[in-house]
Amino acid sequence: MQYVTPLSQADKKRFHQRKVTVDAPLANIKDLMDQHLTGLVSGRQFDLLPFLNNVFACQLQTFALTENYNLLEQHENEDNLKQFSENSQALHQRLAALMDKESSLLKDYELLHEQVRANYYAAEPDDLASKQLDGTATNLELAFHALLGMSADTQWLMEVGMQTLRLLNPALTTAMIQQISASIMMLVEQSDDVA
């Protein structure tokens, strides 16, 4: 079982809509498949592909959660709030499980994590932190905060994946890594409306 949390029907549907298989969602990204994806990382044998597959699942969920948030922003009602809350919880669990499983890989990237989170949280209104503390933040503001935090975590995991790819393939140029990363993001951002 390569996914840290079982894929839901909604997850499988998102894979299917992008015409990728659950077993090898990144198989069509040739630049990635041409690289060494296993090797020694921090003194232990590491297989990067299952990690990247899990990050991809997180990216798809984050993309869907962003769409949930946009809907909530347009129509703030009980149903949209419930939908956002459930999807947010599922993504949080997947991110936490992946971070726990790969803690030995991720421990070297804590500073990067802080930087990525700081960049994302810079998009928040300045008074949101104090509103959270005194309990005056609206549901929409709390949803935005949750979305930013999980978007940052997903982005950080992707960056760790790309840095690990470089460790396994020292000859890879920055441009090649950016190209691989962009190809994965293009796959993620294919609209969920595509049948």
Digit-coded pLDDT (tens) for 57-90: 999 999 999 999 999 999 999 999 999 999 999 9
Task: Give the whole-angstrom CA distance, residue 153 versus residue 58.
Answer: 9
Give the type of residue at 188. Answer: V
Tokens 């149903």 appear where?
A: 79
Task: Give the whole-angstrom CA distance, residue 127 versus residue 133.
Answer: 10
pLDDT of residue 195: 36
pLDDT of residue 145: 94
Specify the pTM. 0.94
Provide DSSP, 101-154. HTHHHHGGGHHHHHHHHHHHHTTS-TTHHHHHHHT---HHHHHHHHHHHHHHHH
Task: Give the whole-angstrom CA distance, residue 87 versus residue 16.
Answer: 19
Question: For the segment 3-60, what is each residue's pLDDT rounded down to a tens digit?
Answer: 999 999 999 999 999 999 999 999 999 899 999 999 999 889 999 999 999 999 999 9
pLDDT at 193 over 60: no
